[in-house]
A and B are shown apart, each in its own frame.
Chain A
Amino acid sequence: KQEVTQIPAALSVPEGENLVLNCSFTDSAIYNLQWFRQDPGKGLTSLLLIQSSQREQTSGRLNASLDKSSGRSTLYIAASQPGDSATYLCAVTSGGSYIPTFGRGTSLIVHP
C-alpha cells in the first residue's frame, strides 16, 4: 500500500527566501506525482503534474523534481512571497490504478 509523507509539516519563512518542500513515497512504481496548493476554506489547486517518465516540471517560480528510484519529490519555490502562504499537498498515483494517495501536506507561512 502506497504511503506518502511530507516534510516538514509546517514552515515559516521571511519573504524572499528560496525554499524546498519534500514528499516521499514508499512504492516507486508510480504513474505520476502531483503537487497541489490548498488555501484555508478552499479546494485544491493543481500546481504541477509530473509523469513517471519525467524528472521535473516548472511553472513560474515553482519547480518540482521527481526521483522514482529514491521515492522522492521536491517542490522548490523561488523568491517566496506572502501570497505563497498555503498548505502544499503531494499526491501519487500507483499500483495499477489512478487513485491518488495524498500526503498530509506542508503548511507554509511566508511573512513580510
Chain B
Amino acid sequence: EPEVTQTPSHQVTQMGQEVILRCVPISNHLYFYWYRQILGQKVEFLVSFYNNEISEKSEIFDDQFSVERPDGSNFTLKIRSTKLEDSAMYFCASSAGQMGNQPQHFGDGTRLSIL
C-alpha cells in the first residue's frame, strides 16, 4: 500500500537555526498538509497546500514557517530561526481529494528537538 514518507525521523537543531523537514506524499495525491504535535498535547493543523499554493493555514503558521513543493515528489516544511517551543512531532499528510472529503494519509512524523 502506498505510504507517505518523512525524513529525517529525528532532527536535533540548535535554537536559532533553520530546519527543513521533508515529505514524499503518495504519488497520485493532490492535497498536502503539515501538522504538529507537541509532546502530550493535541495534534494541531499547520497548513494545507494544493495546486502549488497554500489553501489554508492556522494561526500557528506565521512568517517563521514556509512550505514548498520543489519538484514533483517532495513537499517540505521550512522553519526559520527555530525556538525551543518548536520542539514537537511534525506530521505530513496527503489526500486524493479536498480535506474533509477524502481521508488523509499520514507519515510517521519527524521528531524535532530544539536545543
Q: Choose from B43, B58, B100 the contact partner of A44 (Cβ within 8 Å).
A: B43
Of the stretches B12-20, B66-74, B76-84, B101-109, the one at the interface is B101-109
Count CB-based A-B contacts (< 8 Å). 52
Q: Which residue of chain B lies nearest to A91 when distances are taken between CB atoms in the complex?
A: B43
Q: A49 interface residue, CB < 8 Å from B? A: yes
Is there contact, CB below 8 Å, between B99 and A98? yes
Q: Choose from A41, A43, A93, A103 the contact partner of B42 (Cβ within 8 Å).
A: A103
Is there contact, CB below 8 Å, between B48 and A98? yes
Q: B32 interface residue, CB < 8 Å from A? A: no
With A103-B42, A104-B42 as contacts: A46 and B109 at CB distance below 8 Å: no
| Residue in A45, A93, A102 whose Cβ sees the most chain B Cβ within 10 Å | A102
Chain B residues, CB < 8 A from A71: none
Interface residues of A, count at CB 8 A: 23
A49–B109 CA distance with the chains assembled, in angstroms? 22
Is there contact, CB below 8 Å, between A93 and B109? no
Q: Which residue of chain B lies nearest to A47 when distances are taken between CB atoms in the complex?
A: B103
Interface residue ranges of A65-112 to B (CB < 8 Å): 89, 91, 93, 97-105
With A102-B43, A102-B44 as contacts: A93 and B99 at CB distance below 8 Å: yes
Q: Which residue of chain A lies nearest to B31 when distances are taken between CB atoms in the complex?
A: A98
Using a CB–CB distance below 8 Å, which chain B residues touch chain A?
Answer: 4, 41-45, 48, 56, 58, 91, 93, 98-109
Using a CB–CB distance below 8 Å, which chain A residues touch chain B?
Answer: 31-32, 34, 41-46, 49, 51, 89, 91, 93, 97-105
Can you list 23 A-B contacts with CB-CB less than 8 angstroms, sorted by A residue number?
A31-B100, A41-B108, A43-B4, A43-B91, A43-B108, A44-B43, A44-B91, A44-B106, A46-B104, A46-B106, A49-B102, A51-B101, A91-B43, A98-B56, A98-B98, A98-B100, A99-B45, A99-B48, A99-B56, A100-B45, A100-B99, A102-B44, A105-B42
